[in-house]
Structure 1
Amino acid sequence: MHVSIEELDLQAKEVLKKFDNVTLTAKDRGQIPMQEMPTQDPSVRVTNMQEVALGYTDSQVRAEALRCLQCKNKPCIQGCPVSIDIPGFIAEAAKGNYEKSVDIIKQSSLLPSICGRVCPQESQCQKYCTVGKIYKDVDQSVSIGRIERFVADYARENGCETIPPVAPETGKKVAIVGTGPAGIAAAADLRREGHTVVMFEALHKAGGVLVYGIPEFRLPKKIVQHELDNLKEMGVEIRRNYLVGKTRKISDLMEKDGFDAVFVGSGAGLPKFMGIEGENYIGVFSANEYLTRSNLMKAYSIGDSLTPLYDSKKVAVFGGGNVAMDAARTAKRLGAEEVSIVYRRTEFEMPARKEEVGHAKEEGVNFMFLHAPLEIVANEQGRVNGVKLIACELGESDASGRRSPVEIPGSEKLYDFDTVIVAIGNASNPLIKATTDGIEVDRRGNFIVNEDTCETTLPGVYAGGDIVLGAATVILAMGQGRKAAKAMNEYLSTK
């Protein structure tokens, strides 16, 4: 049952009345109930593109922060790829010192408003939370991401952010290929040291996957733009509609344009398909294309956007990750009458965040677990009109530790769908490798880098994010961007 933000705020006020301004024992903190995230009513939000999660209220964030035990060994930090002082910023949030709280976060992370929204805290920092371990349930851990989001939003909305200071100019020039989270993190750290930093974006809008991949209802684009504006204020230049590998090669940037070093954060933008019959029919989309049409090109804004919409009534989404959830939930908002996630394992094995799965269910998305696509069929005009699925059961565990799906012979059945979205992952962008001599990649096409420095096999060229890791999280990409920037600063000091 949906609970309004007003009711949740009232409950939090009662908690503060009982526990605030007193010396709390660990037992006291353990009695404080976890604060639920306020959301738009599912019946309303499925008709708009506005953010689903409304954010904690002031009372809620302080009540949730009081649940933190302030452990001396700080186990949560080991789950954070950029080692944020988590107990430190939560302690300040509990006191209502939000500006100080966000300053602590920004010593390690440049994008707290974004990471607080989209990072899988349940498999990172919150996985190690002592409160969650006491309850033997990670869902009962302190809501670190939600607190992070609140204090970051507070600083942005109240104009109390500080732009990082920039050292005197060094005369060195650095190119950043890609404007996603890895590139943003690298650019900020390199510019802080006084280097000239130029970012290159292939599309007409900067932000990478934060802009084209994540829907507005999960991450408002004004937040991404705000972070990019902060970079510009530091003196970082962003060149859009500039496809490195085509417009200019890496070798041209270094040998002709005078760049002393290059960081490649061009992401994993090559969609994977299943290789089944019918994937070329009209009405079959990669999740990349489908989400880009909506997120970046505003296809949902009928009358204000020139991007055409495909008329879908019954949509099948292949996959079980966050991208599959994003595609399915977007399809509902674009007017599809029925949307089904087709996943060959059970819900337990789904890699998508539990919160995203829950939101999808609330919004009316169907889930067809233990089913695998065999063939996509079409009418005489080549437009999708069905999908042949086969039922599965779980067998032995595979290399990832998940039980492998085994098809059940004779269980094939044709289902009525007019649109298919394939959301089974992406491969690394192949363009730079194809146009750059000396860059080595692994069998998946990911750049091979030094684990400690993120330097590629080409001297002076570094890489991080999805181009190295495959599809990864925003905070992991940022961690690599910062690691690369540190090594690049050392490299530039010797040139």
Structure 2
Amino acid sequence: FKLEKSVMSKRREIFTEMGIEFKLGVEIGKDIVLDELVQQYDAVFIGVGTYQGMKADIPNENAQSVYSALPFLIGNTQHLLGFAAPDYVSMEGKRVVVLGGGDTAMDCVRTSVRQNATEVTCVYRRDADNMPGSKKEYNNAKEEGVVFRFNAQPMEVVTDDSGKTVGIKIVKTRMGEPDTNGRRKAEIIAGSEEVIPCDTVIVAFGFAPHTMPWLESVGVTTDKKGRIEALGELKQQTANPKIFAGGDITRGSDLVVTAIAEGREAAQSIMAFLEV
């Protein structure tokens, strides 16, 4: 969402001139089945990303003016490009609270700033040192006026009698011992609840793989989190030797540069598989 759209358009023009054919508006499992592609082509690469937004699982999460990060960001991009944008919402003149501390949260706070929100606050349950997002993005957001509330865990979306969002209830936390991944746990401080007034809440807790029932018929396996397993003999090769995968759908939400690197590795593996 931070990439210049003109750069993306230019890339597509270059790829088209190289002979790559883009078939847009085609949904696998609906417009065409993956089995057909596997039969028609010598190799297939799956780079579908992860698009299932993770929920906050707090009371009133479905209240008015509570949005999921991805539809918000996609709607804004479609609006900027002049496309139909059914999910577009403007934060102009609103007090916005974004929940989360990753790169998606940084996208949301900075997009809200560009939409001329009155206030933008980022709420994250750990401290700045344990925030998973890019430090550069964090510093840029601060320079643009975003307020960060660290060691604050969301407890409830506060609404008025009409169901309209008027705040987010949080409880303060302290950093405890590291978890199994080496990150320090956020421990709740009893009796430290408070309400941050706001007009809008954006939930940006990252993404999980969406349902892909069409993988089973071609023998591609997934792990317990729903990510495609790339455990073949070649890098990025799946359980079906003709099918390769990479990016967020194999490792979980990560950076664009990581997806690009895995795409290149997959290309090399496909060439080796085809012996070209």
**Of 442, 450, 453, which residue of structure 1 is paired with 2:231?**
450
Kindly indicate whether the alpha-carbon contact (under 8 Å) linking 1:372 and 1:389 is maintained by their aligned counterparts in 2: yes
Structure 1 residue 287: deviation in Å?
1.2
Paired AA for residue 62 in structure 2: N
Task: Measure the CA separation in 2 of the matches of 1:250 and 1:400.
Answer: 35
The 5 A counterparts of 1:21-420 are: 214-215=1-2, 219-255=3-39, 258-298=40-80, 308-310=88-90, 313-420=94-201
Residue 463 of structure 1 aligns with an amino acid whose one-letter code is: A
Moved over 3 A (4+): 304-308, 432-437
The AA in structure 2 aligned to 1:429 is H
Report the alpha carbon displacement of residue 433 of structure 1 after superposing the two structures with TM.
5.0
- C-alpha change, 1:306 and 1:296, in structure 2 (3 Å) is closer
RMSD of Structure 2 on Structure 1 (CA): 2.1
Q: 1:434 to 1:316 in 2, by over 3 A?
A: farther
User: CA offsets per residue over residues 462-483 of structure 1, 9 Å max, x none?
Assistant: 1111110111222221222122
Letter of the aligned partner of 2:96 in structure 1? V
Gaps of 5+ in 1: 1-213
Kindly provide the amino acid, as one letter, of the partner of residue 332 in structure 1. Answer: V
Q: Which has the higher helix share?
A: 1
Q: Once the two structures are superposed, what CA deviation does each residue of 1:22-63 show, in whole Å capped at 9, x if it has no partner?
A: xxxxxxxxxxxxxxxxxxxxxxxxxxxxxxxxxxxxxxxxxx
What letter corresponds to residue 472 of structure 1 in structure 2?
D
1:239-280, Cα deviation, whole Å (9 max, x unpaired): 11111222112112223xx22221100011111112111111
Q: What is the alpha-carbon distance in structure 2 between the residues aligned to residue 382 and residue 437 of structure 1?
A: 46
Using the alignment, how far apart are the partners of 1:297 and 1:249 within structure 2?
31
Which residue of structure 2 lines up, in the alignment, with residue 175 of structure 1? Answer: none
Task: Give 1:399 shift.
Answer: 2.0
Q: 1:306 to 1:479 in 2, by over 3 A?
A: closer
- TM-score, normalising length: structure 2: 0.91
CA separation of 1:433 and 1:381: change in aligned 2, threshold 3 A: farther
| Larger relative contact order (CA 8 Å, sep ≥ 6) | 2
Distance 1:438 1:394 in 2: 44
Identity %: 35
Change (3 A) 1:249 1:305: closer
Matches of 1:461 and 1:414 in 2, distance apart? 50
Q: Report the equivalent of 2:265.
A: 483
Task: Give, as a single letter, the amino acid of the residue that structure 2 aligns with 1:261.
Answer: A
Report SS of the residue matched to 1:238: coil
Deviation, structure 1 residue 298: 2.3
Alignment coverage as a number of residue pairs: 273
Structure 2 gap ranges (5+):
none
- Structure 2 residue aligned with 1:441: 222
CA contact (8 A) 2:51 2:208 kept: yes
Shift of 1:435: 6.5
Q: Which amino acid aligns with 2:242?
A: G
> Structure 1 pair 266/306, CA: closer, same or farther in 2 (3 Å)?
closer
Aligned residues of 2:50 and 2:252 also touching (Cα < 8 A):
yes
CA distance in structure 2 between the aligned counterparts of 1:264 and 1:363, rounded to whole angstroms? 37
Say whether the 8 Å CA contact 2:157–2:168 is kept in structure 1. Answer: yes
Distance in 2 (CA, whole Å) between partners of 1:369 and 1:260 is 50
Larger-Rg structure: 1
Q: Against the structure 1 CA distance between its residues 297 and 242, is the aligned structure 2 distance closer, same or farther, given a 3 Å change threshold?
A: farther
CA contact (8 A) 1:390 1:413 kept: yes
Contact 2:76 2:85 in 1 (8 A): no
Return the alpha-carbon distance in structure 1 between the equivalents of residues 190 and 128 of structure 2: 22
